[in-house]
Structure 1
Amino acid sequence: MAWLNGLGATDARAFLARAVRLDAGAVVRLRSAGDDRVTLWSHLPWGVLVSRAVPGHVDGDHTVLARELLTALDGDLPTLRDSEWRWSIPGDPGAVVERIPAADIRRVGEAAADTLRTAAAEGVGGRAVGSRVLRDALLDHVPIVVTTATGERVEIPQRLVQAAVRMGFTMSDRAAARDFVDVRKSGPWTALACAYGSAWHRAAKTLLIG
C-alpha cells in the first residue's frame, strides 16, 4: 500500500529533490502528523532540520534515503534506514513570536550569497580567505533578531535563513496567499515557518537523538 496520497506528490517531490540537491546522501524521516498527513524531515549539511507536511499515512516513524524515496513516490517505502537518523526533532510546532515578510527573508539570503561570491573572488580586506572559513563565518552570522513579549531575544542565524531559502520554502506565490514567515520557538528550537515548509535550528552544537 502506497504511503503517499497522490495529492501530495508534487509537494513531496519538491522537498525531496531540493534535499538531495543539497546532500546526495540525505536521509528523510517520515512521521505521522495526524489527520492523514505525513511530515517529511531531513537534516541539511549545515546543521539545520527542514520539514514539510504532505497528505499521506504512515504507522510510526520511518527513515529512508531521500533519493530512493524520490524515485518511489507512487509505491511502497524503500529500504528502511532507521539507524541512520541521528537527530532530535522538535516535540511541537512551538509558539509564534514574530511574523516577517517572506521578501525580507529572501533579501537577507540573497545578500549573503552575494557577499560570499564577492569575498571568494576578491578576498576580505585584500587577503584571500578559504571558502570553508567564509561559509562557516557566514552561516554563524545573525542577520535577524526579534524580541518576544517577555523580552527574550531570539536570534535568527544565517544558516536558518539559508535553509528556508535554498529549500524553496519562501518562494513567492500569489496562489499560496501567504507571503510571510513565522518565527517560532519550541524549547531550545527556533524555526522559520514558511508557506512551503519549515526550517529548524537548535542552539546546542550537537543534535541528540530524541
Structure 2
Amino acid sequence: MAWLAGSSLSDARAFVTRAVRLDPGALVRLRPAEEGAVALWSRLPWGVLVSRGVRGTLRQDRTVLGADLLTRLDGELPASRDTDWRWSIPFGAGEVVERIPAADVRRVGAAAAQTVRTAAAEGVGGRAVGSRMLRDALLDHVPIVVTTDDGRHIPVSQRLVQGVVRMGFVGEAAGDFVDVRISGPWTALACAYGSAWHRAAGNGLIG
C-alpha cells in the first residue's frame, strides 16, 4: 500500500534525491505530522538536520535508507533502519525571531562557495589550505546574527545556509522570505520548500 499521496511524489523525490546526492548513505526518517501529512527528515554530512513536509499517511515513525526509498516512493516502504537513526529532532516548528529576504540567503550561500573556490585555487595569504580545513572554516563561519526582542543574539552559521541552499529549499520568487526560528537549543532556517536545523554544541538532547 502506498504511503505517499501522488500529489507529493515530485516533492518527496526532490528531497530524497538531494539528500542522497550529498550523502549516498543518507537515512530518511518519516514521521507522521498532522492528519494526512508526513514529515521527511535527513541529516546532512555537516551535522544539519533537514526536513520537508509532504502529503501522505503513516501510522508510526519509520527510518529507511534514502537510496532504497527513491525506488519505492510510490509503493511500500523499504526495510526499516530505525536503529540506525541516532539524532534527536526539534520539538515543534519553533518560534520565528526574524524574517530574511530569500535573495539575501542565496547571496550569502553563493559568496561562501566562491570563497572556497578562490581559496582552493590560490590559497590563503599565499599559503595552500587543505580542503577539509576550508570546509570546516566555511561551515563554522557566522554570516547572520539575529537579535531577539529580549536581547538574545542568535547566530546563523553557514551550516544552515548551505543546508537550505544545497537542498533547494530557498524560494526564488520576488518577495520570498526565509524565517529564522528557534526551538530550545535548536536554530533553523525555514524556507519555501523545507527547513534546516542545527543545535549548538554542548546542548542536551531533546525531542
Q: TM-score range by the shorter chain?
A: over 0.9
Matched with 1:33 is 33
Q: CA deviation at 1:205?
A: 5.5
Q: Distance in 1 between matches of 2:200 and 2:80?
A: 29
> Residues of 2 paired with 1:208 and 1:22: CA distance?
25
Provide the residue aligned with 2:60 in structure 1.
60
Gaps of 5+ in 2: none
Measured in 1, the distance between the counterparts of 2:35 and 2:156 equals 31
> What whole-Å deviation, never above 9, does each CA across 1:48-76 have from its counterpart, x for those lacking one?
00000000011111000111111111101
With normalisation by structure 1, the TM-score equals 0.95
- Alignment size in residue pairs: 207
1:132 aligns with 2:132: yes
- Give, in angstroms, the shift of residue 173 of structure 1: 4.0
Structure 2 SS opposite 1:34: coil
Q: 2:197 aligns with which of 180, 200, 203?
A: 200
- Work out the CA distance in 1 between the residues paired with 2:205 and 2:191: 25
Q: Is 1:185 aligned to residue 182 of structure 2? A: yes
Contact 2:90–2:186 (CA<8 Å) still a contact in 1? Answer: yes
Determine helix, strand or coil for the equivalent of 1:114: helix
Checking the alignment, whether the CA contact within 8 Å between 1:87 and 1:207 is kept in structure 2 is: no
TM-score (normalised: structure 2): 0.97
Q: Matched residue of 1:87: which SS?
A: coil
In the alignment, does 2:86 pair up with 1:80?
no
Say if 2:22 and 2:44, in contact at 8 Å, map to a contact too: yes
2:89 corresponds to: 89
Matched, 1:113 2:118: no
Partner of 1:122: 122
Q: Quick one: which amino acid aligns to residue 188 of structure 1?
A: P
CA-based RMSD of the aligned residues comes to 1.4
Report Cα offsets for 1:89-134 as digits up to 9, x if no partner.
0011001000000000000000000000000000000000100001
Deviations along 1:137-196, whole A, 9 cap, x unmatched? 11000000011111110000001100000000004146xxx6110000000000000000
Give 5+ residue unaligned stretches, structure 1: none
Question: What secondary structure sits across from 1:181 in the alignment?
Answer: strand
Q: CA 1:208/1:86 → structure 2, altered by over 3 Å: closer, same or farther?
A: farther
Query: What amino acid does structure 1 have at the position aligned with 2:146?
Result: V
Report the equivalent of 1:13: 13
Q: What CA distance in whole angstroms lies between the structure 2 residues aligned with 1:48 and 1:207?
A: 16
Partner of 1:112: helix, strand, or coil? helix
Please say if residues 6 and 74 of structure 1, whose CA atoms lie closer than 8 Å, have aligned partners that are also in contact. yes
